[in-house]
Amino acid sequence: MPKKLRKYWERFNSVIIVYVFLIVVLTAVSIVFPVFRSPRNLSNVLIQITPLAIIAIGQTIALIGGGVDLTVGVVASFTTVLAGNFMGQSPFGVFITIIFIFLIAIVIGTVNGVICNETKIPPLIVTLATGSIIRGIILSYRMSPGGSVPRAIVHFFNIEFSIFSIATVVLILLYVIFTLIMSRTKFGISVYAMGGNPEFARMAGISVKKVRIMTYIISAVLAAVAGLVISARTGTGIPNVGDPFLMDSLTAVIIGGATFAGGQGFIVGSFAGAVIVSIIHNVLNISNVSPFYQYIAKGAVLLIAMILNSRKKKL
- pLDDT tens across 134-152, in order? 999 999 988 888 888 888 8
Instruction: Report whether pLDDT(274) > 90.
Output: yes
Instruction: Report whether pLDDT(192) > 80.
Output: yes
In the structure, what pLDDT confidence band is assigned to residue 298 with cuts at 50, 70 and 90?
Answer: confident
> What is the structure's pLDDT at 178?
97
In the structure, what pLDDT confidence band is assigned to residue 7 with cuts at 50, 70 and 90?
Answer: low
Q: To the nearest whole percent, how much of the chain has pLDDT over 70?
A: 94
d(CA 247, CA 190): 27
d(CA 308, CA 127): 26
In the structure, what pLDDT confidence band is assigned to residue 1 with cuts at 50, 70 and 90?
Answer: low
In the structure, what pLDDT confidence band is assigned to residue 117 with cuts at 50, 70 and 90?
Answer: very high
Instruction: Report whether pLDDT(119) > 70.
Output: yes
Start-end of H helices in the chain: 3-32, 39-64, 72-86, 91-118, 123-141, 151-157, 166-184, 186-196, 198-203, 208-234, 243-255, 267-286, 291-314
Mean pLDDT over 232-242 rounds to 92
The b-or-e profile of 187-224 (16+ CB within 10 A means b, else e) is bbbbbbbbbbebeebeeeebebbebbbbbbbbbbbbbb
First-to-last CA distance in the chain?
A: 18
> What is the structure's pLDDT at 91?
86
Burial class (CB in 10 A: 0-12, 13-18, 19+), 285: middle
Name the more confident of 152 and 170: 170
CATH number of 45-314: 1.10.3470
Instruction: Report whether pLDDT(227) > 90.
Output: yes
| pLDDT tens, position by position, 68-105 | 999 999 999 999 999 999 898 788 888 999 999 999 99
Write down the mean pLDDT value for the chain: 89
> What is the structure's pLDDT at 127?
97
> What is the structure's pLDDT at 312?
59
